A and B are shown apart, each in its own frame.
Chain A
């Protein structure tokens, strides 16, 4: 029996997409047609397989542009990471297990350890990562650690915005009714890059988007904010990094 000879509504019947009278007609036909019954069983297998299929969805359009931008930038970001690792051969982002216990001192008390990896990217390709900013809480805590606690990588986007990719390690949960906020700061001016929370041990990765003007704000702060409706930044700085 060729395909064309099977009942034309079998597939729609399997999908449950027929009107009641049409479905009844298919059932009557199946009762007297063993070939179509066999065909039905195979079509039902297809229907069951569809259950495992992913829902129809397109990835967001900007993803392709971002990937191609990264490709255009060549291996610059990996060079940047290798550069950071070579300064501390024990640094392994995923290998640290110790929990961070950071205090929330004033901005003035927070020591800064920031390494900017810029030279490679400037002047070569516009799409290259703009900076890799290392973030640390205090030198006392940092001295007991291998590597850095966090890093912010900044990438250009085709839209002109910049993507800030935060990678934080063992970053404590915020206090109850609190969250973290990322700021780009220049003197007493600042731009909020967005907010997030963390679950403590392990790697916390956050993507944020900031306008191009953020490049003129050389200090990156992560503060802990209370959910109180007050948009003003708190004084509690968890991590800090600086672009030079």
Chain B
């Protein structure tokens, strides 16, 4: 009897509430299983699951390396449509899904960068879909260079549960002190410090350079 993706996803939702720093993945449907489901009737549920897991990373990396919200949105759309269309080319024995998706994202980002040089610019009442100015200082090679670390950091942050990710985002990206985070979130200052320490410990373990870096850069 096959696994019903929808049921599995519901089961996962129930499990999320009990997570600590790092979400428990052992009982969840894996990324690689989702890829297999893309060829069958559960395609939407499977792609939806992959989107939920990775869209923030693809979008964030797009913002980081393309410097343009509109291009980053286009990147997300193109990447996940390519995931669907190219699912049969994914070979889990050669790379894990995250690495495969990174390479796909990098490829699309470079294409979009090149097209971005000819991109339209907003007019006074232009639709929000139209690009704002992009970072013209970065070239395709720089995109390649920057994207892998950006991807890894994003994945490490996504690996934290919401409470621990929140303190890091408020502290690092928001520039808030621990006391300000406590006030903002209503969490006791001691808990904020504990979460910060645990989150950093988890990030350090995830961001240790591994051989997979070379694999991804190929």
Q: Which residues of A contact B (CB under 8 A)?
A: 3, 8-12, 14-19, 42-43, 45-47, 49-50, 52-60, 63-64, 66-68, 70-72, 75, 78, 179, 194-209, 227
Q: Does B187 make an interface contact (CB < 8 A)?
A: no
Q: Does B163 make an interface contact (CB < 8 A)?
A: no
Among A72, A201, A205, residue most surrounded by chain B Cβ atoms (within 10 Å): A205
Q: Which residues of B contact A (CB under 8 A)?
A: 43-44, 47-48, 51, 55-64, 72-74, 76-77, 80-81, 84-85, 115, 117-121, 123-127, 129-130, 146, 149-150, 152-154, 157, 165, 168-169, 171-173, 176-181, 193-194, 196-197, 199-201, 203-204, 207
A59 touches B73 (CB 8 A): yes
B56 touches A59 (CB 8 A): yes
Please give the distance in Å from B147's CB to the nearest CB on chain A: 9
B196 touches A206 (CB 8 A): no
A42 touches B120 (CB 8 A): no
Collect the chain A residues with CB atoms within 8 Å of residue B199's CB.
11
Collect the chain A residues with CB atoms within 8 Å of residue B176's CB.
17
A199 touches B121 (CB 8 A): yes
A10 (CB) vs chain B CBs: closest residue: B197
B204 touches A196 (CB 8 A): no
A208 touches B127 (CB 8 A): yes
B157 touches A43 (CB 8 A): no
A14 (CB) vs chain B CBs: closest residue: B200
Overall SS of chain A's interface: mixed
Q: A66-B77, A71-B44 are in contact. Are A52 and B115 (CB under 8 A)?
A: no
B201 touches A196 (CB 8 A): no
A196 touches B177 (CB 8 A): no
Q: A194-B127, A196-B130 are in contact. Are A52 and B118 (CB under 8 A)?
A: no
Bound-state CA distance A8–B192 (Å) is 11
Bound-state CA distance A50–B48 (Å) is 28
Please give the distance in Å from B163's CB to the nearest CB on chain A: 14
Collect the chain B residues with CB atoms within 8 Å of residue A46's CB.
200, 203-204, 207
A68 touches B47 (CB 8 A): yes
Collect the chain B residues with CB atoms within 8 Å of residue A194's CB.
126-127
Bound-state CA distance A180–B93 (Å) is 50
A196 touches B196 (CB 8 A): no
Collect the chain A residues with CB atoms within 8 Å of residue B129's CB.
206-209
Please give the distance in Å from B52's CB to the nearest CB on chain A: 8
Which 6 residue pairs are nearest across A and B when measured between Cβ atoms? A54-B60, A202-B118, A53-B153, A11-B200, A59-B59, A207-B129
A67 touches B193 (CB 8 A): no
Please give the distance in Å from A184's CB to the nearest CB on chain B: 15
Q: A8-B194, A49-B149, A59-B73 are in contact. Are A201 and B59 (CB under 8 A)?
A: no
